[in-house]
Amino acid sequence: MKKKIVVTGGTGYIGSHTSVELIEEGYDVVIIDNLYNSEAVVVDGIEKITGVRPFLEVFDLCDRNRTDLFFKNNKDVAAIIHFAAFKAVGESVSKPLEYYRNNLDSLMNLLVAMQTNGISNMVFSSSCTVYGQPAKLPVTEDAPFQTALSPYGNTKQIGEEIIRDTTFSTEKIKAISLRYFNPIGAHPSALIGELPRGVPENLVPYITQTAIGLRDELRVFGTDYDTPDGSCIRDYLHVSDLAKAHVAAVKRLIDKKNRKNYEVFNLGTGKGVSVLEAIHSFEKVSGVKLKYKIKGRRQGDIVKIWADPSLANRELGWETVYSLDDCMKSAWEWEKQIRKHN
């Protein structure tokens, strides 16, 4: 009997790639998504890759009654992977209440439904934003939370605290928070990938949209940071590598291999890459020269961060396999595919 995994936000960027990896590992996937920032057609891509069509339930997890009803009818769920959230750092600064209500209400509704219906395991989509600008690099899971630089980052901090307190109060719920660094790239098939609505908030879709002519030029925010080339440094990892870590985390919980009721793991490559280095990698693999303009620093951006992923390497048996060039090549193939461009 296949174990049923609920993937909230499963038609989104990371959720869809994780759904693929779960199906390929033999799990039965049910997606919950309100399609606020994604398209139902993503399920077609998942089916083309895996040969299996995951079931899609379209509703908003902020609707507590609807959430309760779903889990009342699906008490056989082995684990929930919770991606569903608003995620644009810049937008969260201008719409803080929308971010707090959406990201925290949905999480609390899920946890209540888990308690009510006897569902034990949750993997939470967290972020390296919880660390702010760490005093020491690479950053380990023991690094203290810094004051969040955006409401989005704060929802991840508060979300982790809510889950930690819930697992502390009841032995019945076990959880793992995965703190992502910067996921990029697309599935090697080019059948699913990152598809932001409107102007991209993240670097790589902005790069690929500029390269294909959708954007006039790329903006680089700040070249006067305390880094080797003056641009911000991040830890970029391939989305399929990231997705595999979720499968490992789910398996750890289901197999009761977790050491504590609540665990956290950093997911990154352990290497810092500057914005300008990322641009040059893309130019190399695509053969396209990018037009970019230097702008002032952007509110909410930290200077540099990269992971110490050794805990996840050791405990989850997980590590990244894709290089930066691989990531950029797959992102470019995806961009060309969705624009039907050769």
Please say if 152 is a catalytic residue: yes
- The first and second tokens of residue 234, run together, are 């991040």
Q: By the 8 A CB rule, do 274 and 222 touch?
A: no
SS3 state of residue 281: helix
Pick the catalytic residue: 13, 27, 131, 152? Answer: 152
Separation CA 276–CA 280 (nearest Å): 6
- DSSP per-residue letters across 171-228: TT-EEEEEEE-EEE---TTSSS----SSS-SSHHHHHHHHHTTSSS-EEEE-S-SSST
Distances (CA, A) of 131 to 142, 144, 316: 10, 7, 21
- The first and second tokens of residue 310, run together, are 């050794």
SS3 state of residue 113: helix
Instruction: Please count the residues of the chain.
Output: 342
- DSSP per-residue letters across 122-186: EEEEEEGGGG-S-SSSSBPTTSPPPPPSSHHHHHHHHHHHHHHHHHHH-TT-EEEEEEE-EEE--
Residues catalogued as catalytic: 152
